[in-house]
Structure 1
Amino acid sequence: MSFQGQSLALTSDGLAAAASTLNVQVPEIWAVLSVETKGTGFLPDRRPQILFERHYFSRLTNHQYDATHPGISNPIQGGYGAIGANQYLRLQEAYGLNQDAALQSASWGMGQIMGANHKAAGFDDAASMVTAMTNSEDAHLAAMVSFLIANRLDRFLAAHDWASFARGYNGPNYAINHYDDKLNTCYQKFQTGTFPDLNVRAAQIYLQFKGFNPNGIDGVAGPGTASAVKAFQTSIGVTPTGIIDDALLAALKPADA
């Protein structure tokens, strides 16, 4: 499994649908996404953001591989190693042992939904969920929305009861990492009405896919983004303006989208 699909960036329609379904406003959505994956659902190589959980794999395989593959099968949570592409090395090791258990043992996309929670996220199996996750951040967000509703966490999000939301979404040890405080801090930031510009953000994501570094995925058209845009425009023989418009986005969009 390549774990690469269309890799489309979040759209205004996807964001609006999530807010409407959850009966919340945009700041609440961005607060959760920012805490979970710093606001982006894909790695530079177009694969979804994941975190492999060895204790899930251990449990789902009845501890069969604890002795022989302790790095990816262990009843004790932890041992993550580096984030990013390294998590796929861990996933691939597990995938070679038990495909379904491996997919269930990783958290996926912008909302970091565990594959084991595929039914709550709206899918018949983990593989179907993963396929959707490879295609778009809109699918990431839709899965998160389904999970929140299935677990009745939408009420806590709407009420800004960050502790209760964190307990249900991040687990009983949420306070160790100040998960609830981080949610509140992000919410207060976005409540001012300043959100990531989705066109700029999409351009940043697609620039990264093509090997041009925008210096972060934040939806802000800063100097790093302008420099990356100019470099890309030069590479395709277009006058380097540094401006993000429909023509640029069309040129940047993944060819298989």
Structure 2
Amino acid sequence: MTKFVGRGEPLDSQGVAEAAELLGIPATVLWAVVTVETAGCGFMQDRRPVVLFERHEFRRRTAGRFDVSHPDISGSPGGYGPAGKHQHDRLGIAIQQNRKAAIESASWGLGQVMGYNAALAGCIEAEAMVSQFCRSENSQLIGMARFIRARGLDKHLKQCAWADFARGYNGPAYAVNRYDAKLEQQALRFASQPMPDLAVRSIQLLLSYEGFMPGPVDGYSGAQTKRAIARFRAANRFGEGEDPDEKLLGELLARLPSDTAKDLSFHG
């Protein structure tokens, strides 16, 4: 079964700057979109990208052939089940039936871009988009920005027209989950407090890969993050202390697997 495990590189300042520039918006607005869409993190603890498998999309792409035999992965909207591993399990079952349709029927990464929107995200095809998204959160964020711009939704973000953006990004039922209100709330929050520290956020994500639970991957170093840092240092004889620093970040980044994949999926 396909694992979808790549390097899992955390988001950095270059990725944020490029995405914000593509959209012509301040970082506060960009962070609002990221936070509301995936709680701010594009990878799970096993370095697989966050996904949500949409069984109604799989039904559409396979003409309902698997509705009876596999109702969990082919049917009416809904029936998602829990987030995380369960979504990859559903995706894996769908891939056994029809790989192309399955990958196109899942949303991927930070921005939860649907596989069938790969071209709008600047990629050749869904497989290529997923390959990029497995590699880094930068790729995920830039893909999301390209999708937003291709759909003409950047104009709504520039105007902070939250309902218009939510309608275009999440569909006409956006109000059920209050996407517009959540976006506005997060934008106001980021405008009135320090922005997430990307180095801290990277350390949090990388610590989660190592099995040390730092709490939310949010770029703010709270008590749980500090305890995780102290435990990692003690377990690996990597000095003492509970504060994040560049040396710790370098050590954690060095533990990521090498990346030998060709960077061919983006175009235009």
Bucket of the pairwise TM-score, normalised by the shorter protein = over 0.9
The secondary structure found in structure 2 opposite 1:191 is helix
Match of 1:242 in 2: 242
Match of 2:15 in 1: 14
Displacement of 1:251 in angstroms is 1.3
Aligned pairs (5 A) from 1:224-235:
224-235=224-235
Give distance in 1, aligned partners of 2:213 and 2:240. 16
Give distance in 1, aligned partners of 2:65 and 2:13. 45
Aligned pairs (5 A) from 1:168-187:
168-187=168-187
Displacement of 1:197 in angstroms is 0.6
Displacement of 1:192 in angstroms is 1.4
Displacement of 1:193 in angstroms is 4.5
Give distance in 2, aligned partners of 1:28 and 1:215. 24
Give 5+ residue unaligned stretches, structure 1. Answer: none
| TM-score, scaled to structure 2 | 0.94
* Contact 1:231–1:240 under 8 Å retained in 2: no
Aligned pairs (5 A) from 1:77-88:
77-88=77-88
Match of 1:92 in 2: 92
The secondary structure found in structure 1 opposite 2:107 is strand
Match of 2:131 in 1: 131
Verify: 1:104 aligned to 2:104, yes or no.
yes
Verify: 1:67 aligned to 2:68, yes or no.
yes
Displacement of 1:243 in angstroms is 2.2
The secondary structure found in structure 1 opposite 2:52 is strand
* Contact 1:53–1:106 under 8 Å retained in 2: yes
Q: Tell which deviates more after alignment, 235-244 or 194-203.
A: 235-244
Verify: 1:207 aligned to 2:195, yes or no.
no
Verify: 1:51 aligned to 2:52, yes or no.
yes
Q: What are the superposed Cα offsets for residues 162-204 of structure 1, whole Å, 9 maximum, x if unpaired? A: 1110011001110111111111111110111421110000000
Aligned residues: 256
Give 5+ residue unaligned stretches, structure 2. Answer: 259-268
Give distance in 1, aligned partners of 2:256 and 2:158. 38
Give distance in 2, aligned partners of 1:117 and 1:6. 23
> Displaced runs of 4+ in structure 1, greater than 6 A?
none
Give distance in 2, aligned partners of 1:22 and 1:50. 24
Give distance in 2, aligned partners of 1:125 and 1:14. 21
Match of 1:220 in 2: 220
Q: What are the superposed Cα offsets for residues 200-224 of structure 1, whole Å, 9 maximum, x if unpaired? A: 0000000000000012211111111
Give distance in 2, aligned partners of 1:198 and 1:72. 36
* Contact 1:229–1:240 under 8 Å retained in 2: no
Q: Tell which deviates more after alignment, 218-227 or 46-55.
A: 218-227
Q: Tell which deviates more after alignment, 241-250 or 82-91.
A: 241-250
The secondary structure found in structure 1 opposite 2:97 is coil
